[in-house]
Amino acid sequence: MTRKLVVEADGGSRGNPGIAGYGALVADAATGEVLAERAEGLGRTTNNVAEYSGLVAGLRAAGDIAPGADVEVRMDSKLVVEQMSGRWQIKDTRLRELARAAREAAGKLGKVTYTWVPRARNTRADKLANQAMDGVPSRQGNGRHP
């Protein structure tokens, strides 16, 4: 049976562009147990770059935990969800690079689906992103910058 994981990812910037960071976590889909957290400050960049960076970090963490697992990605960024689902074009060069990195990370997993969630249902990843912007390292280690 294929393992099922959930990636919750978020990114933000204070100003756009501004001081930015991302947060991501990987949880077991059946139990909700958090298996990994990633958060990193990105310096000065855009909100969309931060959102994509959180996605890449979350997918990489999921691949480290359980290669081949099916993953549901939950994000409050409609842009990232629609672009990664193939419904919207990615015009920005930097976002295309990050989307390519996300697809590469997803290639080590099984089926990856993208679900938009309201901000109120993405509070764990949002908290990690805000801690990263504040310079607070994540509890379970920092991820690799995409």
- Note the pLDDT tens digit of each residue in 50-101: 999 999 999 999 999 999 999 999 999 999 999 999 999 999 999 999 999 9
Query: Residue 42 pLDDT more than 90?
Result: yes
Would residue 122 be called left, alpha or beta, if left means φ above 0 and alpha means ψ between -120 and 50 degrees? alpha
- Give just the sign of the alpha carbon dihedral 91, 98, 35, 140: negative
Question: For the chain, how many residues are written?
Answer: 146
What is the predicted pLDDT for the residue at 109?
98
State pTM to two decimals. Answer: 0.93
What is the predicted pLDDT for the residue at 1?
81
Q: Where are the domains of the chain?
A: 4-133
Distant-in-sequence, close-in-space partners of 14: CB < 8 Å, separation ≥ 6: 20, 133
CA atoms within 13 A on the CB side of 29: 15
Q: Tell me which fold the domain 4-133 belongs to.
A: Nucleotidyltransferase; domain 5 (3.30.420)
Strand runs (DSSP E) across 55-136, as ranges? 70-75, 112-116
